[in-house]
Amino acid sequence: MTGPIIIPWNGITPRIAADAFVAPGVVLVGDVEIGPRSSIWFGCVLRADVNKIRVGARSNIQDGTVVHCESARDGKDGFPTIIGDDVLIGHMVMVHGAILEDRAFIGMKSSLLNGTVVEGDAMVAAGALVAGKRIPKGQLWAGTPAKYMRDLTEQDLKGMRAGTLRYETNAQIYRQQLAQT
């Protein structure tokens, strides 16, 4: 079984923590850094050829997600993509030049575009489009374009944390089983 596709760009090679799980077939390009016990699942592309991408500890980026960034040009700063610790990113998400703070939750097939900030303990619903907005802590945003729906409950927050922990645990099982093949 082959591993991820690692492509250096402009002399910078992606860096992966020793205990992270990066699934076979994932593509990592350039200035990408994957933190400890994080997981990048099948079919993801993280392309840092024009700016940087950082993924903190214990975060998961689920199958089919694309992560990119925006370069600086015309005298304007670019938009790196910064993903904090314990972030859950659902299947087939587009993250482009966004900041996802610790414990953010991003639902499946949502799109987060340049300048978006999702604060910690905030949730973006499945299918949402967030373009350059700040999603405050403790809130759920949904729709296209995304708008505030409601405050998150304590039960919501517990569920978000449980989901992140399940992915961290599952990633370690995958690491062990794939090492045996």
Residue 150's pLDDT band, with cuts at 50, 70 and 90, is very high
Phi, psi of 174, deg, nearest 5: -60, -45
pLDDT attached to residue 1: 63
Query: 72 or 27: which carries more pLDDT confidence?
Result: 27
Domain ranges of the chain: 5-179
Dihedral, 34, 69, 127, 117 alpha carbons, nearest 10 = 80
Longest Cα–Cα distance of the chain, Å, equals 51
Assign a CATH topology to domain 5-179.
UDP N-Acetylglucosamine Acyltransferase; domain 1 (2.160.10)
pLDDT attached to residue 24: 97
Cα 166 to its chain centre, rounded Å, is 16
pLDDT attached to residue 39: 98
Q: How many residues does the chain have?
A: 181
At 12-65, the pLDDT tens digits run: 999 999 999 999 999 999 999 999 999 999 999 999 999 999 999 999 999 999
